[in-house]
Amino acid sequence: MHATPKTTGPASPGKLLYAQSGGVTAVINATAAAVIETCRKHKVTVYAARNGILGALREDLIDTTKETPAAIRGLAHTPGGAFGSCRVKLKSLEDDRARYERLIEVFRAHDIRWFLYNGGNDSADTALKLSRLGKAMGYDIRCIGVPKTVDNDLAVTDCCPGFGSVAKYTAVSLRECALDVMSMMDTSTKVFVMEVMGRHAGWIAASAGLAGEGSDDAPHIILFPELEFDPEKFLARVRETVDRVGCCVIAASEGIKYADGKFVADAHAGTDAFGHTQLGGVAPALAGMVRDKLKLKTHWAMPDYLQRSARHIASKTDLDQALAVGKAAVELALAGENAVMPVIARTSDSPYRWKIQTAKLDKIANREKKLPRAFVSKDGFHITAAARKYLSPLIRGEAPPPYDRSGLPEYVTLKNVAVKPKLPVLDV
């Protein structure tokens, strides 16, 4: 299904460092499992950085050789980030040079020759800068970006591991909630709002559109961050839908904005460690608007972390792609590649086929792929056939975790044995 570079084994007796970054996904640990298992086949030792790039800066490293093969296999069906993640963005080489040099010092101290950073745009940028600094400092370090993000907003790649599963969760959850609302709409809730992640890109919001196919199927309204939110137009559509269908089910991106650029959720917003607006609150804001202006009974839901951690309903396609990029990232590193990322290329829609290709990090770092306007209906409230054609294959297939006798999934917890530090402690 995918082609990867040929490897002849490690070019040096060095080690490979793997780190997870940003918001985790239902399948990021599957990528980690693929990285470790591939390295073991090539007899390469894998260290993991505890809590992402912070672990590398603090010299807080984990020796994955202490984990059993069964534990590593179990990562493939365990959500969360097994080694810990973080939201820390390094600045430019000029402004943050001391911390970049510290990373190279840690790499040198532990003979780390390959660095795999599993994350999104900011992580790709960090890996790119490290690859350049390694050359400048005369240290042979090969840096590979590994794609991951539920937002599906990485450039070049057709889709991002993590997105297919959150898309499946979103479509399934909205369909189930809609059936609930429709059961009670005669005497109870008329309008239901489900808030989904997506600060600037509406890929997750669009995936809600897969929940129904007919004009009267939920979701009846989808609100995308790429389009200006017009409250009057929105309320008119809600009123018309309730009059026609009996209820109105809405999927709203957390990042929708008014014409003046202000987030609808601004009243509830803060900022995260990257300086991004930390959203959440669109659903109650919209529900309140409907209740106050249209006098209709409303309910709302904000799945928040549930949508990105729902491993029990992960997409098999997404899992396969998460495993594939992990394997390919190792093979690229061992083949001597640097400042690149394995990406997913779609080769056919029907039947759906894909393969792994290689892209340069400078084509991905700090770039954001928005939902194309052609994927949104002319009225701005739903997805088009083109969007459905793109999205549908990504949620196909089931890959449930094993369950124990108590009825709960058998998720694994690693020992995460620390590597003995060799450098002075650094306060980061």
Instruction: List, by residue number, the catalytic residues.
Output: 151
Q: CA 79 to CA 70: how far, in whole Å?
A: 16
Sign of the CA dihedral running 279, 284, 289, 292: negative
Q: Which amino acid is at 417?
A: V
- Which DSSP helix (H) or strand (E) runs through 172? helix 163-184
Q: Which ranges in 271-382 belong to alpha helices (H)?
A: 282-294, 305-309, 316-334
Q: Which residues pair with 191 in a beta bridge?
A: 248, 298
Residue pair 171/211 in contact by the 8 Å Cβ criterion? yes
Residues 145 and 124 sit within 8 Å (Cβ to Cβ) = yes
Strands 340-349 and 352-360: antiparallel
Residue whose entry in the numeric block shows the structure tokens 């949620």: 395
Cis peptide before 231, with omega less than 30 degrees from 0? Answer: no
Residue found by looking up tokens 């770092």 in the block: 365
Strands across the sheet containing 298-301: 221-223, 248-253, 191-196, 298-301
| Terminal CA-CA length for the chain | 42
133 membership: H or E segment, kind and range: helix 121-136
CB 210 within 8 A of CB 204: no
Nearest to 357 by CA among 100, 54, 12, 1: 1
